[in-house]
Structures are given as C-alpha cells and as structure tokens.
Amino acid sequence: MSCVKLSRVLAGDTPGRSTELYYYRVGPTDAGVKVYLQAALHADEQPGILVLHHLLSLLRAADEAGELDASFVLFPMVNPLGMGDIEFGRHQGRYDRGTGINHNRRWPSLYDALGASLADRLGADAADNVALVRAALRDWADALPQNTAFEQWRHCIIGEACDADYVFDLHCDNDALVHIFSVPQLADNMQRLADWTGAAATMLAEDSGGGSFDEVWPAVWLRLARECPQKPIPLPVVSCTLEYRGEFDTFDELNRRDAENLYGYFQAEGLIGGKARGRRGQAPAPTDLRATEMLRAPRAGLLAYCVELGDEVNKGDRIADLVVLDGDAAFVERLPVLAGTSGRVISRAITKYVWRNANVAKIVGTEVLESRVGNLLSD
C-alpha cells in the first residue's frame, strides 16, 4: 500500500515567478498497470479538479483497504502556470503567455522523436516490443530540455505519462454535456467509459490536427505498427480527453458522482476491487469526429439560442438568432444561425456576444462532413 504526495518546483523565468506542481501516486509500487489522470491542463477548465479531488479520496481509501491492482498517478491541478494567468480580475489560463501556445496543442510527436531509431530494434515478441518502446520513451522524456518554466512543466508531465497504460485528460467545454475525444482504435473501451461517465457523445479521430495531449500517446504505437507491419506492435495505452460538461459545472455533489462513476469504470476494468461504486448506463455509440459540426457565427452579434443542450436537430434547423449590433439594422434585425447537419447539440457558448467565426455550438451527427478537414478542434 502506498499514497505519496509529490511536488516539483518550476523555476520562474523572471524573479518571483516560481511555482510548484503537486501530484499523487496511489497504489502498489509494483503494480503491472499504471493509470495517469490530470485535470485543468486548460487552467480555466476546473470541474476536473473537483472530480479528481473526490477520486483521490476514493483511491486512498481503496489503497488502505488493499483493493488497488494498479498504480494511479493524479495531477488534480496539472497547470499551475495557467492557474496564475489572471488579467484584470479575469482568469485566462488557456494559452502560455510566453509562447502563445495553447496548453493542449503542439505536444511532441513521439514517433518523429523516436520512430526511426526503434524500427530496427523491434523483435518478434509483442511484450518485448512494448517494453523496448516504453524504455525508449522514458529515456527520451528524461532528456527533454528544462530551461524555461514551460519546458520544466512539460518535462514533468511527459515523464509521468509516457509509460502509463491509461492516460485520461480531464477538461470541460463552455456550456456542455459530458463528452469524450479519443482514437478510433479504442472505440470499444471508449463505449464502456461513455456508459460509466454518462457521456452524450464520443468523438473519434486518430489525428485531429492540433497535437493534443491525449492523442500523442496512442499515436506512436499506431504509427510504429503501420511502418513496421511485420512486427507485433499492440496498442498498450488507453487514452482520451474527458470533457466534464461546461465551465460553470463545478459542483461538489455533481463532481463527486462523476468521481464515483469514473471509479466504477476502473473497477470494471479490473483495476480496483472492493465494493462496487458508480452507475453504468447506456451511452450513444462513438462517431467520427468529422461528423461533428463546429457551428460558427457568420458575423458579430448577440446570441439568442433556440435549442437546449441535448436537443436533436435536423439540418437547416435554427440553432440561434444573432441580434445585429451595427449598421442599418442594428438592434432590429435577427439573423438565423442554422444547423449544417443533423444530430445532437452537446455544447453552446457561455458568452452570448460573439464575433465573426466564433463558436456557437457543437452538433454531433453521424454523417461525415466534407468541410471537416485539417484541424478538427477549435483552438
């Protein structure tokens, strides 16, 4: 049994700007399975912090009872740099101020870093290949530069996640229902996760175009398998982004139930014993991310929504009216914003004043949209 609180000092780039990154390791140190969970990578998205607060309590109790069959690593607030990004009384936290990089974009391509050096070393045994690749990933992670606070931060996170069997990145949307992003090769596991978490949608893409944190871990294995078809290379990591509703959905009882359901999922995966927790439902089947419309505003205006979260809509249905704020028709004309596909509305904008091309809603359909190419995520 083991529960250890750890911390890493991130030396600031300027005087007075150093901070600490806290995380926990819970469970047997010799466990054959490692689970990595983090929340608030986008530091302005905080429901996941409360989910992991409650999950940590459950895991500590299970550890004391000897019921953990995996080692759990939890970063309940993974981005202290972003948590300090407060401007004129408003918390920002989505972008690194020094580089302008979205905190959940442009994570390194592990195949580009290691693939060429690994291909000739792979053998005929799948387990040996997994061990080989993971050892190389750990060595590469250890050698990453640590000059700036941003680099120190990524060094710590990558070093903990690179050899995990499960990598779960907890986020939230603006105003939304629970939903999941992952890769097509994990569809079956994501269906189970969706059933346990009550996800309204599970959207799959092997490469969404942004280099998001959850995608880099399966990507190296999938690319190796394609480049070395004669070698047995499994996909030994279950990775996803779990969107826990919207920014305002940080509530103690709600997120406690989320933690219990996530705990129930890990129990069903055989990683935790003891008293069954959570409640499994029946979530919609996963869909291609390219079948999700990111509906955008045609011009600046004030949104007046015509739909609620969870509504099923048809192509051409009115999602919102846009109250015109300038020109001859200012404050008189309302422009309809119409659905470009049929499906379920899973997110809306919190801020009702929008500008040209701002996000209005996500509509999850089943028909792949021709317009959905390149970067499939909003930045």
Mean pLDDT of the chain: 96
Mapped onto helix, strand or coil, the DSSP state of residue 331 is coil
Residue 329 and residue 221 share a domain: no
Residue 294 and residue 281 share a domain: no
Q: pLDDT value at position 19?
A: 96
Residue 212 and residue 115 share a domain: yes
pLDDT higher than threshold 90 for residue 5: yes
Residue 295 and residue 243 share a domain: no
Residue 261 and residue 158 share a domain: yes
Residue 97 and residue 35 share a domain: yes
- Give 105-163 pLDDT, tens digit per residue: 999 999 999 877 898 899 999 999 999 999 999 999 999 999 999 999 999 999 999 99
373 part of a folded domain: no
- Give 224-281 pLDDT, tens digit per residue: 999 999 999 999 999 999 999 999 999 999 999 999 999 999 999 999 999 999 999 9
Domain that holds residue 329: 289-364
133 part of a folded domain: yes
Residue 277 and residue 298 share a domain: no
> Would the pTM count as exceeding 0.95?
yes
Total tally of structural domains belonging to the chain? 2
Supply the DSSP string of 121-187, one letter for each residue.
T--S-HHHHHHHHHHHHHHHHHTS--SSHHHHHHHHHHHHHTT-SEEEEEEEESEE--EEEE-GGGH
Residue 76 and residue 188 share a domain: yes
Any residues with CB less than 8 A from the CB of 254 and at least 6 apart, and which?
A: none
pLDDT higher than threshold 80 for residue 379: no
Residue 302 and residue 251 share a domain: no
φ, ψ at 198 (rounded to 5°): 75, 30
Supply the DSSP string of 202-257, one letter for each residue.
EEE-S--SS--HHHHHHHHHHHHHHH-TTS------EEEEEEEEETT---HHHHHH
98 pLDDT band (50/70/90 cuts)? confident
Mean pLDDT computed over 80-102: 93
pLDDT higher than threshold 90 for residue 366: yes
User: Where among 285, 302, 328 does a domain terminate?
Assistant: 285
Mean pLDDT computed over 331-351: 97
Residue 107 and residue 253 share a domain: yes
43 part of a folded domain: yes
- Give 160-179 pLDDT, tens digit per residue: 999 999 999 999 999 999 99
Q: Kindly state the percentage of the chain with pLDDT values over 90.
A: 94
User: Where among 285, 312, 342 does a domain terminate?
Assistant: 285
- Give 27-64 pLDDT, tens digit per residue: 999 999 999 999 999 999 999 999 999 999 999 999 99
User: Where among 263, 285, 307 does a domain terminate?
Assistant: 285
Q: What is the DSSP letter of 90?
A: E
304 pLDDT band (50/70/90 cuts)? very high
181 C-beta neighbours (distance < 10 Å), count: 25
Residue 293 and residue 279 share a domain: no
Amino acid type, 310: G
